[in-house]
A and B are shown apart, each in its own frame.
Chain A
């Protein structure tokens, strides 16, 4: 039996009107502006940009407001908007060595050239609620120390110079793009880094944590974590050369991990890498740990069956929009599907009851 159903428009309209009212909250409280979200909920904005895979702080702020602070819903809004835009091209690869640094730390070298720059970090705070923030009107100011821009070479490049790091593949090959071609396995490292950069922070964090707890142990040191702004350059055909089209904030993490080597090659440290849009160091560290775990094959390591070693599992489940789309669709009408289940279970029960009745008689 197939029954087409219509209706619900009036209920849907009323639901959306109520949603709008609830979004606004108590009208006696001043309305939140997108500017306020962008300036004061910056890390939420950064997360929505990273997972929405679109760098635009105003739009991310708007998405957060529209989604009532549901960040995955906000990511969804940003992704949907992105699909309406034409793409003008791809940038030159950003040069993170030229980053204007706001934070830069190394867990491996205390006296790294350029120094340890803490930046605006939550580290070393006591994680006690600060009730002063409930009172309005404070405008704190940061200390300043006149200085030249931080000249900070990548710390791993220092180990590289001594031949202690595994060499990086040098190529300018055009990378695969999962927004243009559906992801396919095996996924190479550039494709994996794209998927992880837009992956759900919670998922990538848990995968990274699992490697630390022994599920595919890779023993990572944070060689360097840096946050700052980088210029974005793009080749413009009508000009015939590349120009800077803007600047974006990035977080980059490079990990140093245990060794690779062979009878012919002396041992070298191996690398994990994470690059994320915005200020998002938990995510960048997580990406670099998962990146390293996924490299077991190319580094000749054993597959111990750890989830974080399973490229297909990690990449096909890290996208929270794909995940929530499939998960949440099951709450939508499945009346007909369920009708067939009902008929099936009744038939099975009838079949089971008949011999029982016969036995009883």
Chain B
């Protein structure tokens, strides 16, 4: 896999992991035939931080994660690691990964990812705008002669 393929895969897997499970279910109601190489499994990831933001790593606490690996009829394999405990979320993320890896159904996967990206960007834009509205504008008052 070339670096750019890897970057692309990394990018859309992140989008799929952050998607809301119900939204993904609405965008991909029909699941292509697949067999499990690893059925959806709920577990955790230990989240690490760094001392002083940039020093030694430390263990902050865990988060729930669901993972699975599946195979399409043509042999294409898809993986998913997604936040939370929704097995349908992990299944759909792995299916989309498999479809993209085998170049199948771009008419499904491309608009789906575009929609998720657009919605995520919009959610973030609104949050940024709310934060910006609470930014303090200081007024300096001058006292005395100098």
Contacts and interface: CB of A to CB of B under 8 A. Distances in A.
A146 interface: yes
B36 interface: no
Interface string B58-96: 111111110101000000000101111100000000000
B134 A117 contact: yes
Contacts of B18: 244, 246-247
Nearest to B64: A56
Contacts of A88: 43-45, 65, 67, 81
B43 A85 contact: yes
Contacts of A26: none
A74 B63 CA distance: 16
A193 B58 contact: yes
Contacts of A49: 61
Contacts of A145: 129, 132-133, 135
A119 B55 CA distance: 27
Give the one of B49, B58, B69 with max A CB within 10 A: B49
B48 A91 contact: yes
Interface string B123-143: 010111111111110100000
Contacts of A172: 56-57
Give the one of B42, B130, B136 with max A CB within 10 A: B130
A243 B48 contact: no
A96 B49 contact: yes
Interface string B95-119: 0000000000000000000000000
A175 to B, nearest CB: 5
B85 A58 contact: yes
B17 interface: yes
A41 interface: no
Contact of A177 (B46, B83, B135, B138): B46
Given A171-B56, A275-B60, A246 B82 contact: yes
A136 to B, nearest CB: 24
Contacts of A176: 59
Given A244-B17, A246-B82, A147 B65 contact: no
Nearest to B49: A275
Contact of A238 (B6, B41, B63, B79): B79
B134 to A, nearest CB: 4
Contacts of B135: 115-118, 145
Contact of B81 (A142, A243, A273): A243
A252 interface: yes
A169 B17 CA distance: 33
Given A86-B41, A87-B46, A88-B65, A245 B83 contact: yes
A148 to B, nearest CB: 7
B44 A54 contact: yes
A67 interface: no
Contact of A53 (B61, B130, B132): B61
A156 interface: yes
Interface string B2-32: 0000100110011001100000000000000
Contacts of A58: 84-85
B132 A232 contact: no
Contact of B58 (A55, A97, A191, A246): A191
Contact of A248 (B47, B85, B127, B138): B47
Contacts of B13: 243-244
A171 B48 CA distance: 14
A274 to B, nearest CB: 10
16 contacts: A87-B45, A91-B47, A97-B53, A101-B131, A102-B131, A103-B131, A145-B133, A150-B132, A168-B54, A168-B56, A234-B45, A239-B79, A245-B17, A246-B84, A248-B47, A248-B63
Given A96-B53, A234-B81, 19 more contacts: A54-B63, A55-B61, A86-B43, A87-B46, A94-B49, A110-B138, A116-B135, A117-B131, A119-B131, A149-B128, A175-B59, A179-B46, A193-B51, A194-B58, A234-B45, A241-B10, A244-B14, A247-B18, A273-B51
The 7 closest A-B pairs by CB, nearest first: A246-B83, A244-B14, A147-B132, A190-B58, A168-B55, A144-B129, A55-B63
